[in-house]
Structure 1
Amino acid sequence: MSVSDHAGSVPRRRLQAVSHPELRALLTRNLIGLEKEALRINADGTVALTPHPMALGSALAHPHITTDFSEALLELVTPALSSPAHVLAFLHDLHLFVYRHLGDERLWAASMPCALGDAPGDALDDDARIPLARYGDSNAAQMKTVYRRGLSNRYGRTMQIIAGVHFNFSVAEDFWPLYQQTEGNASDAMAFRSEAYMGMVRNLQRLGWLVPYLFGASPAVCRCFVQGTENDLQVFDDSTLYYPYATSLRMGDIGYQNRQEEGTGMKACYDSLDAYVRSLTWAIETPCPRYEGIGIKRDGRWQQLNDHVLQIENEYYSTVRPKQLTDWMERPTLALRRRGVRYVELRSVDVNPFEPLGIDEPQMRFLSVFMLHALLLDSPRIDARERRLIDANHLLAAHRGREPGLRLGRPEGEIALDAWALETLDAMQAVAELLDGGADGPHGASLRAQRHKILEPDATPSARMLAEMRASGEGFAQFTRRLTEGHREHFRATPLDPEHEAWLRGLAAASFDRQRTIEAADDMDFDTFMETYFAQSEAHPLELASPFPL
């Protein structure tokens, strides 16, 4: 196995330690989960205005089929599994089940929405064209919808129906005690694990520009998406705007990244878990003049959960998040404080329109190597100068990633994007060999496939999209609708195992039972519920009894 101590590589001592058979075996049991968003559309390409299909279950209580911002924005959630193939098989079954209950609707094949008006290029009336997600009559359900109404009032609805794939990654729990021992660290076990994950988060930010370069699939948008906003996008055709070398406009400044930071002073701090939690807590508890004008209520109707910098933690959009599972109505920051980081969520992955599932197995294997590499690297704190470089690199990669000679910034000086990318993949090779148990294996093959995209930028999904659009004379909407129809035909023609279908039907029925239990357990009005929710703190336990006592 190749080992090196050059910059950007896992330290030789650490790599040798985790190469011990016992530790290496545990690393092959890393857990991966996917959250894949997809917009329901009509046959003409417009956003579906129909309710979440009843046959899919309760969006509030189903563990695997729910909605995101809009009633039309499906979110399919897999369990965390150790095999990428098993994760994809589960996601495939979810798609098969969904398509059996969509009627004449489809799942849009790309991240960026389109055809939002009556005709290509028409302006969008947010409220009329994009219905907010609805979850029932319980206090918990109302809170979810009010939060989304707040997002609508703050940022508009169009931005909120951008779809993505969230890649969740964690190391086997049995790995941590042995790893802590090899690191010679005598701190509390939870603190050690959390600090390691926070180091991983910092490194994913440093190297995160590589994700849109390799997997970005949103180089163009419909005119309707940016109508009424200032931009310098170029004209592709009458209905489509683009940047010639863009990789992921979703992750650029016309997408939803960092909208909270404009005029609010909000910037999460990743120096430690404590610093991260404190920065988010400050934002949730601090009034923001920009949002005070919206008001909390209007004519008795809640317009947002509060008028603070953030309504709740989820409002802070970032490329990567440290996560912990939450108990009933527990604030995510309190869950992190109480139980530390459990897994890391990479949020910068575009839906790949060339893949029916929006992602494939080689990409998942590459991302597993990428995230484990980020975990094992040294990870100094990010100072103000490096933070500016990180933000600039992400934007450059999103807007101009395939531009010949493009240079990115890092503390020691500028470097060509392709040189840094090749350097990073070289450094990742040792981790791929660790997971494969040698030089030949699926993780190593995934690195070779991505190396080809660096040497040949035309092989990236973003370049392939633009090339196909030019060759076929299609704008973004036409191109994506064609691929959408292909995916629909694939899923409708593929049989779903009867046992799996019966299981999914049972989950849907059980989710409605769970929703009814939640609704029946409400014992206070919504105003009191919200007051109680925001009153919880480390010293003040949540006083909202779970509808599902142990």
Structure 2
Amino acid sequence: MDWLQTFIQQADMKHAFKQASVGIEREGHRITPDGDLALTPHPKKVDGSTTAFYIQRDFAESQLELVTPPSYTSSEVLEWLQAIHEVAIESLDNDERIWPYSMPPKLPNVDQIKVADLEDLDAVAYRDYLVEAYGKQLQMISGIHFNMQISPEFIGKLHQELVEKHDDQRSIKDFQSDFYLRLARNFLRYQWLLVYLFGAAPVADASFYRDKNDTFEQGPVRSIRNSHLGYVNKADVTFTYDNLEDYVAYLEANVANHHLIAEKEFYSNVRLRGAKKARSLLTTGIKYLEFRLLDIQPDAPYGIKASDIDFMKYFILYLIWSDKDSNMDDVRYGIEIKTKVAEEGAFDVTSMQAEGRALLADMQSMLEAIDADQAIIDVTNQMQARIEDPSLTPAAQMMTAMKDIEGYLATGKNFAEKVFQSAWEKPYALGGFEDMELSTQILMFDAIQEGYQFEILDRDDQMLRFSYKGHQEIVKNGNITSKDPYVAHYVMENKVVTKRVLAEAGFNVPQSLEFKDIDQAMKVADLYTDKAFVIKPKSTNMGLGISIFKHGANAAEFKEALEIAFKEDGAVLIEDFAFGTEYRFYVQDGKVLSIVNRIGANVVGDGKSTLEELVALKNQDSKRGHDHRSPLEIIALGAIEVNTLKQQGYDVSSIIPEGEQVFLRENSNISTGGDSIEMLEAMHDSYKEIAVKMAETLQVNITGLDLMILDIDAPATDDNYALIEANFNPMMMMHIYPAFGQGKRITKDLLQFLYPEKTKFTGGTE
């Protein structure tokens, strides 16, 4: 097939050829902190419905399956796998962990192993059949399934080349199916190489073996999972990958003759994907392939490393590039060799070494021809070293470190503990996506947990698209949705219009003056010498550019505050100060879900540290960070903070008396270093009713309303509260992770608001 290699090496085809998408399914059992198989039901925090996308159940109730969406780079796949893994761990009950290996931990009596408790009764019946046909122990093996779709652009251009220059008469659908079938045959013929390079199931506890005579005389092997003790078809099951019509006919005949209970019982390390039923593939064509032979890698926190993904991807591409076109005799030989290599001793030189050398050398030639990144060339060099030295293979490395079964069980427990602790280091963040705004991270966490599917439309712009049974919703910045009219955002962004609309509706708002240049504003400075007031930009949020003067200001202070505000906007408001305590009301769908009292950036003195040192110490809190990637923001020492200190008679070098609280900001925004205290239950209901009516007046479903209230225990009157700001994209993390009090998971309320039809199933025991 020299013509194919020549075609691939064209400048535009090299890129398309390498643009295959990959998705991972990683299985793993829940275990107790002591390393025993968890006998508890599926965690109630996780949607266990068969429609759930990212976290599913495999055979057993204890067996999680973590599924990533298709991605184009190994780093993206790992980001998703890390995120889903951390959501799973943080959702488990009783401090359970996830077992890190393909072979299970020590198993209890088989009567205690429960098949997955699913709402789909047919799925449960199928699992019950597997118990009778194969025993529970076999089904407790876990692994990595590698889903890969070759670039449709590449396949389309290749088909066009064949039609125009080689007189190929096949439709694009039929050509694509034939293309994938050739790839499947080649993979099955040469799959032994991956078993050798990635085999990581050398031993199993005695409790795994259904027949106590099922042992390997030579001791630890490369992969029990890929041996005759793993997933192997019954002797009477027949199949072919020659063409799609015969593949479907054979599979259906096996079911009709009761050699298989269902098509999915057909155990093959390659599955044809694109439809739920094999016969439907004749209509849809094969869309992608699922490769099912990889063992969970013992040194990978999430079961597989980026370098493993890259090698697997490029090995599959090599099987396309190669002039090999395996037939069914080759396939049957490949299956035989795969089993033989799996059962070789973990430290033995493989009997297939010469072929392995040739395959990897040929693959290196392809990598150079298609200008592959140096990283995959280096990884392939490492695989060549494994061919020469079996002690470098995962199975051998495991046995070198673990020694025996006891070591295997102990090491598995310890590694699961390490991954568990890592997941909990930043429970507020979503590992893999920590560069995104925190409210968006939390919304993604909840969507994974609740069984929604979503994609990141624009990572920098924090834009997500959610899907559930065909219903799609786009969400930006955590809570900007289609449920609010676009014009409402502009109304709330404009503080003058917001107050006018609310004042006309009878709500209490402070009076203000608007200016577009400093000189005009300075003409009224004398009015505020002894009057409490606020200077702030007309159209910004998050406390930017705000200066507050509770006791008036001189001309210099007045001008400095104007300069700060005009840096943020072309128009500035000078507003009467509303006395009282400020509270943020989070309103959604006609309900107040959370209220927090926000306290401006502050420190408490210890009698010996300077104010600058106190700020630095408080900023060491792991919950503080920058740009809304953490629950609390770093406290700055800029012009506004220095000015606020000056009004109190302090500067950054002042030593603050022990126990004295000093505020660095008059405004209480979390965005400028403030703290939050949950106050929903303590707040008088009359203020909640006012907040709901304000949202209705502004014609919004989601908003954050800032109210100044004199006494939260007293009913609202015309003069004991005032609205100072309405926010169209209110910060969510201050409500979810307040500095004090019980947080409210308002992101889950948002998902339920967007998808009222969505229900959750965790099992019949709930």
Match of 1:170 in 2: 149
Structure with bigger strand share is: 2
Q: Give the Cα separation in 2 of the matches to 1:391 and 1:58.
A: 35
Match of 1:372 in 2: 317
Q: Does 1:107 align with 2:98?
A: yes
Partner residue of 2:128 out of 125, 128, 149: 149
What amino acid maps onto 1:107 in structure 2?
Answer: I
For 1:443-482, what aligned pairs fall within 5 Å after superposition? Answer: 443-470=376-403, 474-482=406-414
Partner residue of 1:243 out of 194, 216, 219: 219
Q: Looking at CA atoms only, which structure, 1 or 2, has the larger radius of gyration? A: 2
- Is the 2:78–2:305 Cα contact (8 Å) retained in structure 1? yes
Q: Give the Cα separation in 2 of the matches to 1:189 and 1:166.
A: 27
Q: Give the Cα separation in 1 of the matches to 2:297 and 2:83.
A: 18
Match of 1:285 in 2: 256
Partner residue of 2:45 out of 37, 48, 55: 55
Measured after TM superposition, the shift of residue 256 of structure 1 is: 1.9
Match of 1:337 in 2: 282
What amino acid maps onto 1:106 in structure 2?
Answer: R
SS of the residue corresponding to residue 424 of structure 2 reads helix
Q: Does 1:354 align with 2:287?
A: no
Measured after TM superposition, the shift of residue 493 of structure 1 is: 2.2
Match of 1:276 in 2: 247
- Is the 1:57–1:508 Cα contact (8 Å) retained in structure 2? yes
What amino acid maps onto 2:135 in structure 1?
Answer: G
Q: Does 1:207 align with 2:190?
A: yes
Overall identity of the aligned pairs, in %: 27
Match of 2:262 in 1: 312
Q: Give the Cα separation in 2 of the matches to 1:432 and 1:107.
A: 36
**1:271/1:204 CA distance change after superposition, 3 Å:** same
SS of the residue corresponding to residue 270 of structure 1 reads coil
Q: Give the Cα separation in 2 of the matches to 1:96 and 1:314.
A: 29
Partner residue of 1:441 out of 371, 374, 394: 374
**1:279/1:107 CA distance change after superposition, 3 Å:** same
For 1:14-163, what aligned pairs fall within 5 Å after superposition? Answer: 14-103=4-93, 104-117=95-108, 124=109, 126=110, 128-136=111-119, 141-163=120-142
Moved more, 108-117 or 506-515: 506-515
Q: Give the Cα separation in 1 of the matches to 2:369 and 2:24.
A: 23
Match of 1:503 in 2: 444
Measured after TM superposition, the shift of residue 76 of structure 1 is: 0.6
What amino acid maps onto 2:33 in structure 1?
Answer: A
Q: Give the Cα separation in 2 of the matches to 1:378 and 1:278.
A: 28
**1:15/1:388 CA distance change after superposition, 3 Å:** closer
**Larger RCO (alpha carbons 8 Å, 6+ apart):** 1
SS of the residue corresponding to residue 51 of structure 1 reads coil
Measured after TM superposition, the shift of residue 72 of structure 1 is: 0.9
Measured after TM superposition, the shift of residue 270 of structure 1 is: 1.1
Structure 2 residue runs of 5 or longer lacking an equivalent are 431-437, 454-466, 472-756, 759-766
Q: Does 1:394 align with 2:367?
A: no
SS of the residue corresponding to residue 430 of structure 1 reads helix
Q: Give the Cα separation in 2 of the matches to 1:277 and 1:22.
A: 35
Measured after TM superposition, the shift of residue 392 of structure 1 is: 2.3
- After superposition, what is the alpha-carbon deviation per residue over 1:247-292, rounded to whole angstroms, capped at 9, x for unaligned? 111110111222xx23xx1022111122211111111111xxxxxx
What amino acid maps onto 2:340 in structure 1?
Answer: L
Measured after TM superposition, the shift of residue 510 of structure 1 is: 5.9
- After superposition, what is the alpha-carbon deviation per residue over 1:368-420, rounded to whole angstroms, capped at 9, x for unaligned? 11111112334545344x4543232111110106564543xxxxxxxxx2211
What amino acid maps onto 2:392 in structure 1?
Answer: A
Structure with bigger helix share is: 1
SS of the residue corresponding to residue 17 of structure 1 reads helix
- After superposition, what is the alpha-carbon deviation per residue over 1:79-103, rounded to whole angstroms, capped at 9, x for unaligned? 1111110011001001111111113
- Is the 2:87–2:448 Cα contact (8 Å) retained in structure 1? no
- Is the 1:199–1:378 Cα contact (8 Å) retained in structure 2? no
Q: Give the Cα separation in 2 of the matches to 1:353 and 1:370.
A: 21
What amino acid maps onto 1:145 in structure 2?
Answer: V
SS of the residue corresponding to residue 45 of structure 2 reads helix
SS of the residue corresponding to residue 429 of structure 1 reads helix
What amino acid maps onto 2:418 in structure 1?
Answer: G
Q: Give the Cα separation in 1 of the matches to 2:97 and 2:133.
A: 29
SS of the residue corresponding to residue 24 of structure 2 reads strand
SS of the residue corresponding to residue 152 of structure 2 reads coil
Q: Give the Cα separation in 2 of the matches to 1:165 and 1:394.
A: 17
Q: Does 1:219 align with 2:202?
A: yes
What amino acid maps onto 1:108 in structure 2?
Answer: W
Match of 2:360 in 1: 425
- Is the 1:47–1:129 Cα contact (8 Å) retained in structure 2? no
Moved more, 100-109 or 342-351: 100-109
Q: Does 1:193 align with 2:176?
A: yes
**1:64/1:405 CA distance change after superposition, 3 Å:** closer
What amino acid maps onto 1:320 in structure 2?
Answer: V
Measured after TM superposition, the shift of residue 449 of structure 1 is: 1.6
- Is the 2:36–2:105 Cα contact (8 Å) retained in structure 1? yes
**1:200/1:174 CA distance change after superposition, 3 Å:** same
* Number of equivalences: 445
| Structure 1 vs Structure 2 CA RMSD | 2.4
What amino acid maps onto 1:453 in structure 2?
Answer: R
- Is the 2:144–2:303 Cα contact (8 Å) retained in structure 1? yes
Structure 1 residue runs of 5 or longer lacking an equivalent are 1-10, 118-123, 235-241, 287-307, 408-416, 518-546
- After superposition, what is the alpha-carbon deviation per residue over 1:413-452, rounded to whole angstroms, capped at 9, x for unaligned? xxxx2211110011112332355x25x5222122112111
SS of the residue corresponding to residue 96 of structure 1 reads helix
TM-score, normalised via structure 2 length: 0.55
Q: Give the Cα separation in 2 of the matches to 1:97 and 1:434.
A: 41
Measured after TM superposition, the shift of residue 221 of structure 1 is: 0.9
Q: Give the Cα separation in 1 of the matches to 2:409 and 2:179.
A: 43
- After superposition, what is the alpha-carbon deviation per residue over 1:466-493, rounded to whole angstroms, capped at 9, x for unaligned? 10112x9943222222222222222222
Q: Give the Cα separation in 1 of the matches to 2:133 and 2:298.
A: 29
SS of the residue corresponding to residue 56 of structure 1 reads coil
Q: Give the Cα separation in 1 of the matches to 2:5 and 2:63.
A: 42
What amino acid maps onto 1:377 in structure 2?
Answer: S
Measured after TM superposition, the shift of residue 323 of structure 1 is: 1.1
Measured after TM superposition, the shift of residue 71 of structure 1 is: 1.3
What amino acid maps onto 1:322 in structure 2?
Answer: L
TM-score, normalised via structure 1 length: 0.76
- Is the 1:116–1:129 Cα contact (8 Å) retained in structure 2? no
Q: Give the Cα separation in 1 of the matches to 2:130 and 2:57.
A: 15
- After superposition, what is the alpha-carbon deviation per residue over 1:231-256, rounded to whole angstroms, capped at 9, x for unaligned? 2424xxxxxxx734x21111101112
For 1:494-533, what aligned pairs fall within 5 Å after superposition? Answer: 494-495=426-427, 496-497=429-430, 498=438, 499-509=440-450
Match of 1:528 in 2: none
Measured after TM superposition, the shift of residue 59 of structure 1 is: 3.3
Q: Give the Cα separation in 1 of the matches to 2:240 and 2:405.
A: 46
Q: Give the Cα separation in 2 of the matches to 1:79 and 1:434.
A: 30
What amino acid maps onto 1:393 in structure 2?
Answer: I
- Is the 2:87–2:449 Cα contact (8 Å) retained in structure 1? no
**1:313/1:466 CA distance change after superposition, 3 Å:** same
